[in-house]
Amino acid sequence: MARTGPLNAITDVAGVLVGHHERTGRGWATGTTVLLAPESTTGAVDQRGGAPGTRETNLLEPENLVRYVDAVCLSGGSAYGLAAADGVVRWLGERGRGLPVGQQPHEVVPIVPAAVLFDLPRGDWGNRPDAAFGHAACAAAAGGPVPQGNVGAGTGATVGSLSGGIGTASEQVDGFVVGALAAVNAAGEAVDLETGRPYAADHEVDGEFGVTAWPDRPAVLPGTEAPRLNTTIGVVAVDAALSKAECRRLAVAAQDGLARAVRPAHTMFDGDTVFVMATGERELPEGAGVVGGAGRAAALDALCSASARVFARAMVHGLLRTGPTSGVPAYAEVWPGVLR
């Protein structure tokens, strides 16, 4: 039986902090989410789909110089929203956090990979995240419970015919903790509209989704059509000491979890991007091992399997924890009385 971490959130991975900043009302419906990493956190990324919007992803390739990341920035606003990462870089630089490039402590370059989702135009055109959003999200970053739903990068999100948002989950596996945070904004559906059951509902652990019983009736949806330009973005964190290549394997596995949660996944209208942060707190066992054995490869495989499960569960939370988004209904509106 899978076991969640104490918070069932990505912040169950020690040292990972999450901050949101969003604006709603008066022509606004967008935001930014920042995940601050502990010192010496190894990073990686896997990107799929035909419409990505990213920053600083090439440096995460295993053959390139930089290994450690200082933060990951997730934002609404499509390509405009990449500006939010400027505020994250500034916030970190003000604190002397980054890759040392000079003789003085403040001479650093913060490493902040970023990805954006398409939420235009949920508010008025021109109202989208900028550097101030990233800076404010950093200032709000904390451990503990992670706000979910229509917050941060998930403020204006949709998933298929329904509202989307931020979701998070965690799992304890073989002494390690794997956590995920997803900004759920897929072009595909996350729910079987004929039954009301989320596609990844079978991944639930200990009643975490908060349902009395899944419905068994078709959706009755308003005529509003969700935009076809979307993109799910997110982060998987683990407290293991991994190489960049090993982190990449967790990111690949997380994309499998995304594909379990939405149908279709990785379309030409999505730019699905998953980052991995490995904090290095615990070492994997050494030795080559054999299939099913206790070597490093087997331990990594267990973490990859957990990465897929956790990301899928985070996506269900991102679906269920939301309210309506600019005329797009929330799950609880279409199937009332299902959620406790």
Give the long-range contacts of residues 4-8, CB within 8 A, separation 24 or more: 4/169, 4/170, 4/171, 4/172, 4/205, 4/206, 4/208, 5/170, 5/171, 5/172, 5/177, 5/179, 7/144, 7/145, 7/146, 7/170, 8/168, 8/169, 8/170, 8/205, 8/208
293 vs 310: CA distance, rounded Å: 23
pLDDT in tens, 74-104: 999 999 999 999 999 999 999 999 999 999 9
Q: What is the pLDDT along the chain (340 residues), one digit of tens a residue?
A: 789 999 999 999 999 999 999 999 888 899 999 999 999 999 999 999 899 999 999 999 999 999 999 999 999 999 999 999 999 999 999 999 999 999 998 999 999 999 999 998 877 888 999 999 999 999 999 999 999 999 999 999 999 999 999 999 999 999 999 999 999 999 999 999 999 999 999 999 999 999 989 999 999 987 766 556 789 999 999 999 999 999 999 999 999 999 999 999 999 999 999 999 999 999 998 875 555 556 899 999 999 999 999 999 999 999 999 998 878 999 999 999 999 8
261 vs 53: CA distance, rounded Å: 21
Burial of residue 90 (number of CB atoms within 10 Å: 0-12, 13-18, 19+):
middle
